Structure 1
């Protein structure tokens, strides 16, 4: 009996140790690797932008529609459409002041697992940055740097700012976080379902998993393009403390 009890105790201790090591890996090591990967993607973009090797859009004017809610969301001063994004490669940096003024993440083309380990992912087939349609982006809630950990804190009127190296794009949140299921793909339609928008415009959709450590549901936030300005004009007001 003593031998059996000792064996069971040792087995429990081994299993417990493995569980602790797995938790450490999930909580810390993947985060460290992801933060390093995201920093590298931003460095790659900064180097490309400094060399002018990324296709540059025409200078944007600062005028834009401020309509929200039931439609609007168009920005006549937006740059012309950029060229096709390269799958798995970064093309923009996103800033969300609600998450803190040090929060910034690269946006890459595609939403496959390997892509989302390096930053946020642009849904292929959705609108390009600043263009008419629905520019849709996914990100992990937890693990791999926890980019959208604070997603539920987003509120109407919050700014989501992106840059492609030539232009600043400021979107304003209109609705969310809205909870739905993964099969509800209409949330990234050009005029997304249940967003409150009723006609074509220049929209942004952000998606992440829910619950915090699960993936049975999705949280959605919708925003409209509020303004644009060339990077030469300095940071937009939303990024000024």
Structure 2
């Protein structure tokens, strides 16, 4: 076999491998974002439709409404009956992004039993003004890979939205719409607003995000470890991957419930803070 033939074969192999790599990167950068945008918009549409019919997803049990220690008293109480849902604007298709390992961006366990929403079904919408005026994502029950391709995932077994305990939510840092791309920008006092179709829940970030390992499931305990909280309260935990293009660690942010407001009273002031 001549040297020229060997070089030619190696060159063709390099071109073929390079083409496959480019196609894979294009798939991760473009196609997963497009699919995630379509999937999350579909979840928002389904939520709007259910709420407009008065069908609000609720856990099997609801904690008592009284404020818990170490948690500020809500500003108002929830409406006793379903009300018209707040608007859920569609998100534009995200910009191209490099690939990330397709793994769940948070610890895989959830300590303790708790009320359950329907697995894989959306039940709320989350807004984080720090991430942009148009940032809105559906929250679904469960943190399986397929679920996180359609939105954010609530850890099964953690507290229900607005309830006493720790309402813990996971989301991708990169790929599948990059919902938590700007996670490191979170600062103490930033609002995280959610609605279940009848009530607005405004949580406030308590501290800058913490870096930890995937096996550190204590961060989603009812009183989350390392959060600085020492007593039962109404808490929110957000988790995502770290580093930005990897999954060897996790970033964690904690918040506590600041106020509630019926959707009939309009959007909470946190949207304008």
Is TM > 0.5 for Structure 1 vs Structure 2? yes
Q: Does 1:85 align with 2:117?
A: yes
Q: Which SS does the other structure have where 2:261 is aligned?
A: strand
Q: Deviations over 1:158-213 (max 9, x none)?
A: 01000000000000000231000000000000000010001000000000011111
In the alignment, the residues of structure 1 paired with residue 271 and residue 195 of structure 2 have an alpha-carbon distance, to the nearest angstrom, of 12
Alignment-derived partner of residue 193 in structure 2:
161
Q: Give 2:211's aligned residue.
A: 179
Q: Which residue of 2 aligns with 1:136?
A: 168
Give the number of aligned pairs.
Answer: 230
CA offsets 1:42-71 (integer angstroms, 9 cap, x no match): 0000000001122579xxxxxx97x9xxx7
Match of 1:170 among 196, 199, 202: 202
Q: How does 1:11-160 map to 2 (within 5 A)?
A: 11-54=13-56, 72-75=70-73, 79=78, 84-160=116-192
Instruction: Please give the alpha-carbon distance, in whole angstroms, between the structure 2 residues aligned to 1:43 and 1:75.
Output: 32
The answer on whether the counterparts of 1:78 and 1:131 sit within 8 Å (CA) in structure 2 is no
**2:10 pairs with 1:8:** yes
Distance 1:84 1:211 in 2: 31
Q: Give unpaired runs (5+ residues) of structure 2.
A: 60-65, 81-114
CA RMSD, aligned part only? 2.1
Counterpart selection for 2:245 from 186, 189, 213: 213
Give the distance between the partners of 2:239 and 2:165, measured in 1 at CA: 16
TM-aligned CA distance change 1:50 to 1:22, over 3 Å: same
Runs of 4+ in 1 over 6 A off after TM superposition: none
CA shift for structure 1 position 75: 3.3
Q: Describe the superposition over 1:88-132 as per-residue Cα deviations: whole angstroms up to 9, x where unpaired.
A: 000000000000010000000000001001000000000000010
Q: Secondary structure at the match of 2:203?
A: strand
1:191 and 1:199 in contact (8 A); partners too: yes
Kindly state the Cα deviation for residue 219 of structure 1 after the two structures are TM-superposed.
0.1
Larger strand percent: 1
- Are 2:44 and 2:138, in contact at CA under 8 Å, matched by a contact in 1? yes
Distance across 2 between alignment mates of 1:118 and 1:55: 17
Distance 1:159 1:113, change over 3 A: same
- 2: CA distance, partners of 1:8 / 1:216: 35
Deviation at 1:72, TM superposition (A): 1.7
TM-score by length of 2: 0.80
Contact 2:200/2:263 (8 A) holds in 1: yes
